Amino acid sequence: MNLPIYLDHHATTPVDPEVLETMLPALRGEFGNPASQSHPFGWRAQEIVDEARRTVAAFIGARSASEIIFTSGTTESNNLALKGCLEALRLKTAHVITQTTEHKSVLEPCRYLETKGFQVTYLDVDSTGRVDPGALERAIRPETAILSIMLANNEIGTLQPVEEIGRIAKKREIFFHVDAAQAAGKIPIDVNQMGIDLLSFSAHKMYGPKGVGVLYARSERPRVKLAPLFHGGGHEKGIRSGTLNVPAIAGLAKACEIAGRSMDEENRRVKSLRDRLEKALLAGLGDAFVNGHPQHRLAGNLNISFLYIEPEALMAALQQDLAVSASSACSSGIPEASYVMKALGIDGQRTHTALRFGIGRFNTAEEIDYAAERVIDAVKKLRKLSGLAPGS
């Protein structure tokens, strides 16, 4: 067992060795530019991109490879989905519906759209982080143009009832965008079954390289038109100009292929490790509470609050041995609970003392047992030092 142990797979994932092997030829001999169509180097690069587009389309159940647009990652894809869709509709004003716990790469574009005259409704979630489809439908107005609801939350792992929301969107003839950055490769995605019109995800969250992502845009029933965010050489049918990152695109496709064939088995294994860690921590410590939905949650996610400590102090105590993440942001040196935790409406202490464990493909039972021991020991010591815990 090598230290430190990586338990922050929601932030990013290591590149799978199979993915790296797939990328290497495009970094060496097959290094051509797909836009160079006058010689074999460009032809081969185009072949790699075309094959990758077909693989990604099949992975999410898209009808056509032409519905796949390659981007730099989910942030760009989310911006292109929201801004590009609304600009293409040529509406002077329109209404957007999202939720308070979305990733900043959806919330910030929505706030930008508000400065341009668009109206945005930010739906509340329940104490487990789920949005109410009934409340969503009641929020729809005649001018509502697009819904944007993430599939899985990056902090608490809660899965949203996307298929039900997709049916509402279809019934009301509204475009439905889904940020699937945390879900892609971890749960099955079928854009047609789920009623999704626009879907965003990144390679680096699913054991692929950083700097490459996907935007799926439905081509029929309904057709989604997009205006580009920036202009240049007209790549990706003029929607996303810029030389394609061929090695990364090849790696993304391989990551999708691996996930497609191993998802069920991997989820069972990762969930067993997650449950093992959760059981050990709750048995070894009092005043510890799991956040997020108990069932509708990513297999590798464990967000847990340890009362009577500061999460930053706990991470500092663990950082030589464990890579984990606090569900809080620090502004000007002042610890502040994350907006996701605040949105759950739970006890203030739980909101401020949450730690996120992200378990992944290469973690082992030995690592999980060691992590549990280290966390239990560190929490007990910190509580004793704080003098805030009962009996300390």
Q: Which residues of 338-352 are buried (b: 16+ CB within 10 A; e: fewer)?
A: bebbebbebeebbbb
Q: CA Rg, the chain, in Å?
A: 22
Tokens of 260: 């497609």
Measured between alpha carbons, how far is 147 from 74 in angstroms, rounded to an integer?
Answer: 17
Minimal CA–CA distance to 319: which of 278, 378, 367, 373?
Answer: 378
Measured between alpha carbons, how far is 189 from 195 in angstroms, rounded to an integer?
Answer: 11
Q: What's the pLDDT at 332?
A: 38
Measured between alpha carbons, how far is 307 from 293 in angstroms, rounded to an integer?
Answer: 19
Burial class (CB within 10 angstroms; exposed 0-12, middle 13-18, buried 19+) of 12: middle
Q: What's the pLDDT at 331?
A: 42
Evaluate whether 113 touches 82 at the Cβ level (below 8 Å).
Answer: yes
- Name the E strands within the chain: 5-6, 68-71, 95-99, 119-123, 144-148, 175-179, 198-202, 213-217, 288-291, 301-306, 322-323, 325-326, 328-331, 334-337, 354-358
Tokens of 181: 């950055």
Burial class (CB within 10 angstroms; exposed 0-12, middle 13-18, buried 19+) of 72: middle
Measured between alpha carbons, how far is 163 from 141 in angstroms, rounded to an integer?
Answer: 21
13 Cβ contact partners less than 8 Å away, ≥ 6 residues apart: 204, 205, 206, 207, 208, 360, 361
Burial class (CB within 10 angstroms; exposed 0-12, middle 13-18, buried 19+) of 29: exposed
Residues of the chain with CATH 3.90.1150.10: 5-11+262-386
Q: Which fold has domain 17-258?
A: Aspartate Aminotransferase; domain 2 (3.40.640)
Q: What's the pLDDT at 100?
A: 97
Active site residue 330: yes
Mean pLDDT of successive 10-residue segments in the chain (392 residues)?
Answer: 95 98 94 92 95 98 97 97 95 93 97 96 97 98 97 97 98 97 98 98 98 97 93 88 95 98 97 98 96 97 94 90 78 65 88 93 98 97 84 64
Measured between alpha carbons, how far is 58 from 122 in angstroms, rounded to an integer?
Answer: 32
Residues of the chain with CATH 3.40.640.10: 17-258
Superfamily of segment(s) 5-11+262-386: Aspartate Aminotransferase, domain 1 (3.90.1150.10)
- What size, in residues, is the chain? 392
Burial class (CB within 10 angstroms; exposed 0-12, middle 13-18, buried 19+) of 230: exposed
Minimal CA–CA distance to 194: which of 101, 56, 60?
Answer: 60
Measured between alpha carbons, how far is 50 from 52 in angstroms, rounded to an integer?
Answer: 5
Tell me which of 85, 110, 256, 330 is the catalytic residue. Answer: 330
Measured between alpha carbons, how far is 84 from 241 in angstroms, rounded to an integer?
Answer: 13
Tokens of 258: 């691996």
Longest dimension (CA), the chain: 77
